[in-house]
Amino acid sequence: MDLMTDRITREQIVGVAVELLARGGLHALAMRRIASELGVQQSALYWHFDNKQQLLGAVADRVVAPVVVPTGTTKDTPVEALTARLRGELLRYPDGAELVATAFAFRLGANDAYQHLVDELERAGSARPHAEIAASVLWHFVLGYVTDEQQHRQAAELGAIQPTTDEATLSADDRFTQAIDLILAGTSLSEASPPATLR
Amino acid sequence: MDLMTDRITREQIVGVAVELLARGGLHALAMRRIASELGVQQSALYWHFDNKQQLLGAVADRVVAPVVVPTGTTKDTPVEALTARLRGELLRYPDGAELVATAFAFRLGANDAYQHLVDELERAGSARPHAEIAASVLWHFVLGYVTDEQQHRQAAELGAIQPTTDEATLSADDRFTQAIDLILAGTSLSEASPPATLR
DNA sequence: ACCTGAACACCGTTCAAGT
DNA sequence: ACCTGAACACCGTTCAAGT
């Protein structure tokens, strides 16, 4: 599909890594599989990346790249829309949230997406130190929540769990939105209507 | 140290697993190492546990067990004290937060600790559905934040990062407390003083 | 009931050597 | 500069067989 060059680039490596992630989750992201998909020895990857963590960082960057877009493209309140978009992108790949969380913890990926969240909070009216606290809360919640979501999805596919008959139980979407609203209510800039189920 | 019985129990397995975790983090928690520490073959562990995930779940239970204590033992506001205690216990073991997060995601560990958080929020005045949302936010934030903290600590020990000269930078403790206060401010039951750096 | 011995099917990483 | 070939030092899990 690519123009045939025997030489391999970082971008190609990240490309097939993202494909493998999409198909089989983190489990499929083995150096040997990436290499064989490229028709190359595993050790060849180590000329382009110091180790697997750095490669995963680049994959994480690619996964969350779509959330870093110029503001004003959405008519929704920016911060709420941003968190919803982040969740959406993470859900596109199995283990997406876990991958990004790990990469970010090592500061090897997703740094731009995080910074974008801080910036949006500032533009929405939060002073610097407060915006950083709020961003930290929002970020860790989204990653933790979606990790949970995806792990359950996987467990359900293995038949380990039946889909918990949806009676009187909020959907994952609703619970997510309510949680984001709760957090934003704690920041003075609560654009969102305060949670209806207050007391 | 133990009375010499050639037979091994689940409790003994979990015990040496916790010791290994304390010494070397998740990296040291290999089935072979646990087995050899007990003077037994690796395969022997699989008679007591279905797989490693279940064993890790039991370890996670042990790690967070101290946070599940009867209320009223502390004079602080219960929810704030509970989250602080949870962070404290996680910090006692390298990779403590990551371990508990993974085990909880699979619902194989730390369920009691999570339920305790929901209960405390209810006793503090939150209605059921709201308490569940708030617990989810608090829980994911604490685990995500402490995972980050511990990963940085490890990276710093490898000399990969210098300790970021503490000038004008909030301590990890202060940032944690402020974040918890922000979340609790979003719940109607803001016992905590609203964050000083609001706008 | 509880464990051994041995194998199976994998991993990430390194490194001399090739071109 | 970029990659091969081959090895090193590990993993979790299974399963017949022993006691």
Give the whole-number percent of chain B exceeding pLDDT 70: 84
Q: How far is the CA of B27 from the C1' of D10 (A)?
A: 12
Measuring from the CA of residue B41 to each C1', which nucleotide is nearest? Answer: C4
pLDDT for B57 = 98
* SS3 of chain B: helix, strand, coil, percent, to 5: 65, 0, 35
From CA A15, how far away is CA A172, in angstroms rounded? 30
Give yes or no for a contact between A10 and A49, defined as CB atoms under 8 angstroms apart: yes
From CA A105, how far away is CA B144, in angstroms rounded? 9
Task: Write the CA distances from B118 to B96, B114, B170, integer angstroms.
Answer: 21, 7, 29
Which A residues between 34 and 53 have a beta carbon under 7 A from any strand D atom? 39-44, 47-48
The backbone region for B119, taken as left when phi is positive above 0, alpha when psi lies in -120 to 50, beta otherwise, is alpha
Contacts of B198 in chain A (CB under 8 A): 127, 130, 188
Q: Is the CB of B46 under 7 A from strand D?
A: yes
Average pLDDT over chain A, rounded to an integer: 89
pLDDT for B3 = 53
From CA B90, how far away is CA B26, in angstroms rounded? 13
pLDDT for A156 = 78
In chain A, the residue whose alpha carbon lies closest to the alpha carbon of B124 is A199
The predicted-structure confidence for B110-162, as pLDDT tens digits, reads as follows 999 999 999 999 999 888 899 999 999 999 999 999 999 999 888 777 765 55
Of A126, A137, A197, the CB nearest to B130: A197
Q: What is the mean pLDDT of the segment spanning A133-159?
A: 92
Which helix (H) or strand (E) element contains residue A62? Answer: helix A52-64
Residues in chain A: 199
What does R_g of chain A's alpha carbons equal in angstroms? 19
pLDDT for A196 = 44
**Which B residues in the span 141-180 are in contact with A, Cβ-Cβ below 8 Å?**
141, 143-145, 147-148, 151-152, 155, 170, 175, 178-179
- Taking CA B7 as the corner, what is the angle to CA B1 and CA B10, rounded to the nearest 5 degrees? 85
